[in-house]
Amino acid sequence: MPMAVPAPNAAQGLARTDDRPKVFNQLCIACHALGGQGGNVGPPLDAVGDRHDAEYIKRWLRDPFAVKSNSRMPKLPITEEQVQELSAFLAHQTKSKAPGADGAEAADGGAKEQMP
């Protein structure tokens, strides 16, 4: 069966939206790119997990100005639940997970496959 390769085409809307928190596509994408799509007001978040851990990202999302007093990112109207969801998601955005970087990484850390 031929694989449907998502075209990196903005006119098509977001190619992959199912694997990320909904709120990401509602709020964050306006300013941040992920997977080659999104705004460029803030830095791309593709490998943000290599720069920051989940704790830092949580603090950042709750209040960017508490982390960086001259932050150019506004404090956003998101719930604590969304902060948790987003920080867990973003902490896993690392280079090794970038599309095409290494197919073998698919299982991704935590869940080490148990070989028979």
CA distance 103 to 37: 21
Name the amino acid, one letter, at 34. Answer: L
Q: Which residues bind ligand HEC (CB under 6 A)?
A: 23, 27-28, 30-32, 41-43, 48, 51, 57, 60-61, 68, 71-74, 76, 78, 86, 90
Identify which of residues 15 and 33 has a Cβ nearer to ligand HEC in the complex. 33
Residue 69 has which token pair? 């007093």
Cβ proximity of 73 and 31 under 8 Å: yes
Residue 79 has which token pair? 């719930």
**DSSP 8-state symbol, 111:** S
Identify which of residues 24 and 111 has a Cβ nearer to ligand HEC in the complex. 24
Q: How far is the CB of 15 from ligand HEC (least distance, A)?
A: 19
Q: How far is the CB of 18 from ligand HEC (least distance, A)?
A: 17
Identify which of residues 17 and 112 has a Cβ nearer to ligand HEC in the complex. 17
